[in-house]
Structure 1
Amino acid sequence: MKIYGYGDKFTDGHPRKIIDVLHPGRPNVSKAELKEKLARMYEVKDPNSIFVFKFRTHFGGGKSTGFGLIYDSVENAKKYEPKYRLIRNGLDSKVEKSRKQMKERKNRAKKIRGVKKTKASEAAKKK
C-alpha cells in the first residue's frame, strides 16, 4: 500500500490532502489503516485528528482516491468538522430521536415559512 498525498491547501489551519492509495491485489484499504499510515507519514501525535473520506476505487481496482484532513489537535477537529464526520470517527455521539418526534417536527415546520421554521421546532421542545 502506497499513499501519495498532494495539495497542501490550508483551510482553517489544516492541510487538505487529495490522497491516492495504491493497493494492488487488495479490494480496498480500511480508513483506520489509512489514518495510521498518514499519522506516521506526517508525524501526527493523535490519529483521531485525521479525517479521511470520499474514497472511490478506480475501475479495475488497485487504486483509490479520496480526501484527507489533518488537524493540529482533536479540539480543532471538533471545532471545524461537520457533526456527521465527528460521529463517524467516534468523536461525538448521535442523538437518537423517535420516529414520532421527527414527524411532528416536520409537520410543524410545514405550517411556517422561512427563518421561523427552526424557531417553531425549538419552541415545541421547550414546552
Structure 2
Amino acid sequence: MYEVKDPNSIFVFKFRTHFGGGKSTGFGLIYDSVENAKKYEPKYRLIRNGLDTKVEKSRKQMKERKNRAKKIRGVKKTKASEAAKKK
C-alpha cells in the first residue's frame, strides 16, 4: 500500500480487537525518516519499536524522589525533581 525506505519509520498503536475475531482496528504513523520519528514520537513508543533504550531506575530512587517532592510546593517541585535526576 505504501512504499517505505525503512520499516523502522512505521509506528502502529492503539489496536482494539472486535467481538467475534477476525478484525482489529488501530492507528499508524509513517514518518519520512527515522530521525523524524525519533524527533516526534513519544519515548515509550520508541522503546517499543527498539529505537531507544529504557532507563532502569531502582525502586528506592523513585520512592525517595516522590517523598522529596511531597515536601515542596509549586514551581520548586519541578526544580527539586530535576536535581534528583542529575545525581
* TM-score, structure 1 normalization: 0.65
Task: Render the CA deviation track for 1:16-39: whole Å, top value 9, x for unaligned.
Answer: xxxxxxxxxxxxxxxxxxxxxxxx
Q: CA deviation at 1:97?
A: 0.4
Structure 1 stretches of at least 4 aligned residues deviating more than 4 Å after TM superposition = none
Task: Render the CA deviation track for 1:65-113: whole Å, top value 9, x for unaligned.
Answer: 0000000000000000000000010000000000000000000111112
Structure-2 residue corresponding to 1:48: 8
Higher relative helix content? 2
Single out whichever of 112-121 and 73-82 deviates more from structure 2. Answer: 112-121
Q: RMSD of aligned C-alpha atoms?
A: 1.3
Q: Matched residue pairs, number?
A: 87
Single out whichever of 49-58 and 110-119 deviates more from structure 2. Answer: 110-119
Cα 1:125–1:64, aligned 2, differ >3 Å: closer, same or farther?
A: closer
CA distance in 2, matches of 1:54, 1:125: 31
Matched, 1:111 2:75: no
Cα 1:59–1:125, aligned 2, differ >3 Å: closer, same or farther?
A: closer
**Runs (5+) with no aligned partner, structure 2:** none
**Runs (5+) with no aligned partner, structure 1:** 1-40
* SS of structure 1 residue aligned to 2:12: strand
